[in-house]
Structure formats: C-alpha cells, structure tokens
Structure 1
C-alpha cells in the first residue's frame, strides 16, 4: 500500500504540475489575445482634402456681328463730279466781271467748280456704305475639375501622418496588424 501512496502522490503532483502548466499556457494565450485586442483597430481621420486635376474641353462660341462695307465705286476718279463742278463753276464765273475779266472768271470758276465737284463726289462715295450681319465663331476652352485622389491626415498610436488614398475615407480607417487598410470598402448591391 505504501507503493500505492507513492504512486498517488506522484499522480497528484503530476496533476498539479499539469494544471499549473495548462493554466499558465491559457493565461499566456489570454494575455496575447488581450495585447492583440489593445492594438488599435482604427486610425482616426483628422482631415481629408480632394486632389484635383484640371482638364479642358473645346466648344464653339458664335455671335452675330454687324459689318459695314464700302459700296462699290463706279467712278473712281470722280470724273462726273469734276465735270459737273467745272460746268457750274464756269457758269457762275461768267456772271462776274466783263471783257477779259469775264473770261478769266469763267476759267477760274470752272477750275474751282471742277475741284469742288471732285471733292463732293469723293465724299459722297465714301459715305455710300451698306451693312451685313455676319456670324463670327471662336473656339473657347471650358475648364473642368476631376478628383484623382484624397490627401488624408490621420492619427494612429499618438502619431499624425498623411497618406494619399484613391477614395474619400469616413471618420476612421481600418487597421490590421498595425497597418492601414487602404482599399475601398466593398458595397453590397441588393
């Protein structure tokens, strides 16, 4: 029976050691789980700014413009005005003076009338205009903004850092194994 007692004692001691070992191992595993759970699971988003790129699209912009044109001149040398002016000037000059003075006044009146008739016709031709409405078009560029990403400032473990993301985050960014999960969350379609 003494042997049985020694064996029971050994079993008892072995059982106690086994229980202590299992408890210690379980405590260690629980501690590791507790430590893992204490690691942050989310980073807090402090600021998020859109990064934009400007691009341009062309379009036609047309408008109507009133354009004034010079009428076609049929008598470019103003011969008609000169002749009519000279005849009228000669008639008026013939009314002045007598004898040789009358001839001289007639010639001077013709010369002055010819010059005046020329200038009058030229002035009338310059004022002979017509107007048309013409369409004018220009190519203009309209600017557009395209969001290419987001500059996101976040806090994790007391540190503030900035990353570029392809989507706008919410109030937090998920963290796995101390690293940000940068992928866009999947949305379910119903």
Structure 2
C-alpha cells in the first residue's frame, strides 16, 4: 500500500510538469512560443494628425535710382535775360502799369533764358542704381490634415481588443503572441 500511495503522489507531482511542457502558453526564460492568430476586424477608425506647412517667401526692396545733376549754366545769362525782359515789359506797358510790366517782363525774360540754357544741355544728369536687398522668410501658411493610421478594434477568442495600424486593415488582421 505504501508503494501505491508513493506512486500516486509521484504521478500527481510530475504530471503537471509534463503537461506544462506540451501546452503552448508555457514560457520559460530560454524559449518563447510565437503564435499567430487571425482576428476579425470589428471597426477601423482613421486617425489624423495636423502638419504645419511653411512656404519660403522672398521680400525685395525696390531698386533705388539716384539722379545727380551737374549744373553748369551761366547765372549771368539769366540776369541779362531778366534785365532785357524788364526793359521790354516796361516799354510795352502803359503809364499806369509800368512797374508791373517791368516785373513781369523781368520774370519772363530770366525764365526764357533759363529754359534755353537747359535745352542746350549746359548741365548733365547722372543716374545711379542701388542693387535690391532681398530677404527670404519662411511664412507659416496653413495646417494640413494628414492620415496617420487607423485605430483598429478586433475580436479574438470572444474578447474585443484595440490596436494601432498604419495601414487600413482588411476583414481580418494577424495578431502575433
């Protein structure tokens, strides 16, 4: 009887260890089981993220044109033209308006001589351009909605689970243990 009891106890002690080695969910530190399951997809919700788009923009100041005048006209010619115009204005006006005629004649005479002097190119023009100064800045123009992936709800062995997938799933997905 002692032998029967000892055999039964030994069998009961060793049998769970023998079963554990054959079961798929048993893990020890040196080996892992990698099982693959086919799970039914219940729902796939797209997940979006927002990206900020910046575009370079170049701002340029307009070119500056500087004019330089080198005037070389004769001032004495304008004075002589004013005197001659004043004499003609004084002679052409009546007795009441001699002073006004003299002033108007002097202004017209000096103006005519000045215009004739300019027409004869007694002065020169120099044009100088300053190059444009440009600055490039990155302007944030808009936010763009981009698909990031899918939140997938699936059923495996009667229980619901969720995971994230970058690709849109089909009816079934593969789950690795």
Same fold (TM over 0.5): no
TM-score of Structure 1 vs Structure 2, range by shorter chain: 0.3 to 0.5
Q: Which has the higher contact order (CA 8 A, sep 6+)?
A: 2
Structure showing the higher helix proportion among its residues: 1
> What TM-score comes out, normalization by structure 1 length?
0.40
Higher strand share: 2
